[in-house]
Structure 1
């Protein structure tokens, strides 16, 4: 919830508006752990970024997914430390 509120309807990956609004009236963004919980990463908002579905799929299925995730981790540092 915190991460999506922090993003305020804007993808923290590409900077575009959420692609649609949910039936509850909220911009649709997905939470992405830049350090996966399944790999022992922390389940803490400091390590979670709000992404549009396209950016989220790029991280997990794109040829450059690992590099993109590193870039997102750097962006997240700037977001959380500002």
Structure 2
């Protein structure tokens, strides 16, 4: 479950491929990773992209921790 949550936040390949096929369907901020990539390599704003990537890692860590707490509580209550 935790790997699915992390994978959801880190989705990059599919929007990047679809952006080339249908540029109007996928915006630059479609996923957090795609947004950070566009900031760094398209807009040349590396500092802001690093901050977005750091916050993404922090959000993933917090959500993973909360999911782990919930799973552990559910396992001991049964």
TM-score, structure 1 length as denominator?
Answer: 0.33
Normalised to the residue count of structure 2, the TM-score between the two structures is 0.34
Greater Cα radius of gyration, structure 1 or 2? 2
Q: Give the structure with the larger strand fraction.
A: 1
